[in-house]
């Protein structure tokens, strides 16, 4: 092994070891609720056919990705979850390496910053090794980022158009993995539009590249058809989103709570960070009106959502130890990353305004700005969970790592005052996050109540509407048990 390759080997080894430990941990402390439902649908897709009965609360994308792994899982949820974690991590690591190889053309420092942040970031690793839609969503975001970087290289006939087509198709499918991936879709197509308008090397090939961008949009839209056909069959409405519409409820719930976590004990239970600026009762769908009627409190509530979306007390979605010993180090790490990223972003933005921005970077910068801004806009009106902010956290960590590497090489140029300002901001944000943690509770305050939507058709399966969920799950578990008995030993 060459000396230059040794750091990369050590980094990959440390990352793979951390991923293995996380997968082993999930075997003893499994995720629940959302994670269980995706495994449930994957096995149902295999046994009864794709889209046989997807219920009304999910899109088909992630169960379809999991279905091939069911043939190796022996009709066992725990085994399928572990296989998903292994495969997802391997694809994620490969995507990170591809991103780093793409960035290396611009700067080896950015390449190393991306590798360090993505392959060692606790939240990212915890998500890609779990059976949740955030895993393929983060992988798609990394692949689209690498694709956008490569599109900033010199135009190559066939290759450039191919990358645009693949990117458009992948961005479209991201919506079927997780509807909240809409910012990725918007970010990708905004990046293509910006590149068509601003990148000089695209100018003489604009008709071909525009046609490729339109083709990518159409390819992505094709992946929406199965969901629309399913919805048409169930409700007569060709919707590409889940039949259960909870957008209004999410906005209402975001008024009552600043943040939401799931605590594992006797099953999965809620842990709220209540909104002290609200007291009273809201019906589902009234949240939008509250923001308009109380602009100052509404603005403060949205700001609190955004701040707490960057507050990481645990990398896990389903938390078995709410007051884990490592939460202090984790919180300091991510808040330090956010502060450094903020200062570095301001510095880079000033340089871009002064003419230092290179137009080939247009696509990736636009993609990440629009995707992160869209994600944060959704978070601003939701009772956020840390996983909702996975992409902005990853980007912030990359920016922070690049700033540290620049500082170590003497290329950052920050004054003592700027470092002092960063330290003050870090202390202030840590104080706010610990104050929010201290206000957490397992139920909302008695003075804050809400009404669930009465017209929302929200079921795990369509069968449960006539038979009840318990009967459906019991029959499913019996079918799994029979299939396990048939499997060769």
Q: In a 3-state reduction of DSSP, which class is residue 73?
A: helix
Q: What are the tokens at 447?
A: 């003075």
Structure confidence by residue, pLDDT tens digits, 279-329: 888 887 788 889 999 999 999 999 999 999 999 999 999 999 988 899 999
pLDDT for the residue 209: 94
Residue 287 lies in a domain: no
| β-pair type (267-274, 257-265) | antiparallel
Q: For 53, list phi and psi in degrees, rounded to 5.
A: -155, 95
Residue 444 lies in a domain: no
Closest CA to 127 of 59, 67, 177, 189: 177
Residue 22 lies in a domain: yes
Residue 26 lies in a domain: yes
Q: For 424, list phi and psi in degrees, rounded to 5.
A: -60, -45
d(CA 335, CA 330) in angstroms, rounded, equals 9
pLDDT for the residue 158: 86
Q: Could you list the beta-strand ranges (E) of 32-128.
A: none
pLDDT for the residue 53: 86
d(CA 80, CA 273) in angstroms, rounded, equals 33
Q: What are the tokens at 213?
A: 């961008």
Residue 448 lies in a domain: no
pLDDT for the residue 455: 62
Closest CA to 35 of 73, 1, 63, 69: 63
Question: Which residues have a Cβ under 8 Å from the Cβ of 485 and sit 6 or more positions away?
Answer: none
CB-based burial label for 277 (10 Å; 0-12, 13-18, 19+):
middle
pLDDT for the residue 168: 97
Note the Cα 459 to chain centre separation in Å. 24
pLDDT for the residue 488: 56
Residue 309 lies in a domain: no
Residue 1 lies in a domain: no
pLDDT for the residue 1: 53
Could you tell me which residues are beta bridge partners of residue 449? Answer: 281
Per-residue pLDDT of the chain (489 residues; tens, 9 = 90+): 556 578 999 999 999 999 999 999 999 999 888 999 999 999 999 998 888 888 888 999 999 999 999 999 988 999 999 999 999 999 999 999 999 999 998 889 999 999 999 999 999 999 999 999 999 999 999 999 999 999 987 888 888 999 999 999 999 999 999 999 999 999 999 999 999 988 888 888 999 999 999 999 999 999 999 999 999 988 888 889 888 877 777 888 889 999 999 998 766 788 889 999 988 888 877 888 899 999 999 999 999 999 999 999 999 999 999 888 999 999 999 999 999 999 999 998 888 777 655 677 889 999 999 999 999 999 999 889 999 999 999 999 999 999 999 999 888 889 999 999 999 999 999 999 999 989 888 888 877 777 766 666 788 888 888 888 888 888 888 888 888 877 655
The phi-psi region of residue 464 (left if phi > 0; otherwise alpha if psi is between -120 and 50; otherwise beta) is alpha
**Overall number of domains in the chain:** 1
d(CA 360, CA 366) in angstroms, rounded, equals 11
User: pTM here?
Assistant: 0.94
pLDDT for the residue 24: 96
pLDDT for the residue 250: 81
pLDDT for the residue 401: 97
pLDDT for the residue 81: 96
d(CA 306, CA 300) in angstroms, rounded, equals 10
Structure confidence by residue, pLDDT tens digits, 164-185: 999 999 999 999 999 999 999 9
Longest dimension (CA), the chain: 70
| β-pair type (280-283, 267-274) | unpaired
Residue 327 CB neighbours (<10 A) = 17
Q: What share of the chain is helix, strand, coil (3-state, %, to 5)?
A: 70, 5, 25
Q: How many CA atoms lie within 13 A of 245 on its CB side?
A: 10
Residue 282 lies in a domain: no
Segments forming the whole domain that contains residue 30: 6-243+323-438
Q: Are 363 and 148 in contact (CB under 8 A)?
A: yes
d(CA 102, CA 96) in angstroms, rounded, equals 10
Residue burial 430-455, b: 16+ Cβ < 10 Å; e: rest: beebeebbeebeeebeeebebeebee
CB-based burial label for 234 (10 Å; 0-12, 13-18, 19+):
middle
Q: Are 364 and 152 in contact (CB under 8 A)?
A: yes
């Amino acid at each position: 092994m060459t000396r230059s390759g040794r750091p990369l080997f050590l980094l990959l080894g440390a990352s793979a070891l951390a991923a293995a430990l996380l997968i082993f941990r999930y075997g003893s402390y499994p995720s629940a609720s959302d994670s269980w439902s995706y495994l449930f649908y994957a096995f149902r897709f295999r046994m009864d056919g794709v889209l046989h009965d997807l219920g009304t609360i999910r899109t088909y994308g992630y169960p379809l990705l999991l279905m091939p792994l069911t043939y190796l899982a022996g009709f066992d949820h725990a085994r399928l979850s572990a296989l998903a974690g292994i495969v997802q991590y391997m694809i994620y690591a490969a995507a990170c390496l591809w991103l780093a190889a793409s960035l290396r053309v611009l700067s080896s420092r950015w390449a190393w910053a991306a590798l360090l942040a993505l392959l060692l970031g606790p939240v990212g690793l915890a998500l890609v090794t779990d059976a949740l839609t955030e895993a393929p969503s983060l992988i798609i975001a990394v692949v689209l980022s690498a694709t956008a970087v490569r599109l900033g290289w010199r135009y190559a006939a066939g290759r450039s158009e191919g990358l645009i087509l693949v990117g458009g198709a992948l961005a479209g499918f991201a919506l079927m993995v997780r509807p909240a991936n809409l910012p990725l879709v918007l970010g990708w197509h905004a990046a293509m539009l910006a590149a068509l308008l601003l990148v000089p090397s695209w100018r003489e090939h604009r008709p071909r590249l525009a046609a490729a961008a339109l083709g990518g949009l159409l390819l992505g839209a094709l992946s929406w058809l199965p969901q629309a056909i399913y919805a048409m069959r169930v409700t007569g409405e060709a919707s590409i989103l889940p039949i259960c519409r909870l957008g209004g409820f999410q906005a209402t719930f975001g008024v009552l709570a600043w943040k939401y976590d799931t605590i594992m004990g006797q099953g999965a239970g809620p842990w709220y960070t209540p909104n002290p600026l609200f007291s009273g009762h809201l019906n589902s769908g009234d949240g939008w009106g509250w923001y308009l009627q109380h602009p100052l409190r509404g603005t403060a509530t949205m700001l609190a959502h955004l701040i707490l979306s960057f507050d990481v007390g645990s990398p896990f979605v389903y938390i078995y130890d709410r007051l884990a010993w490592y939460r202090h180090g984790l919180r300091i790490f991510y808040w330090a990353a956010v502060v450094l990223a903020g200062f570095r972003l301001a510095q880079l933005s000033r340089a871009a305004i002064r003419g230092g921005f290179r137009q080939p970077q247009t696509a990736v910068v636009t993609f990440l700005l629009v995707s992160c801004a869209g994600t944060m806009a959704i978070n601003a009106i939701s009772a956020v969970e840390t996983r909702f902010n996975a992409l902005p956290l990853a980007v912030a960590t990359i920016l922070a790592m690049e700033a540290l590497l620049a500082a170590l090489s003497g290329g950052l140029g920050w004054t003592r005052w700027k470092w002092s300002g960063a330290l003050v901001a870090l202390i202030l944000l840590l104080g706010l996050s610990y104050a929010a943690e201290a206000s957490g509770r397992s139920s909302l305050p008695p003075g804050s109540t809400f009404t669930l939507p009465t017209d929302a058709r929200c079921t795990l399966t369509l069968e449960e509407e006539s038979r009840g969920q318990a009967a459906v799950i019991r029959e499913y578990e019996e079918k799994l048990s029979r299939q396990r008995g048939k499997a060769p030993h």
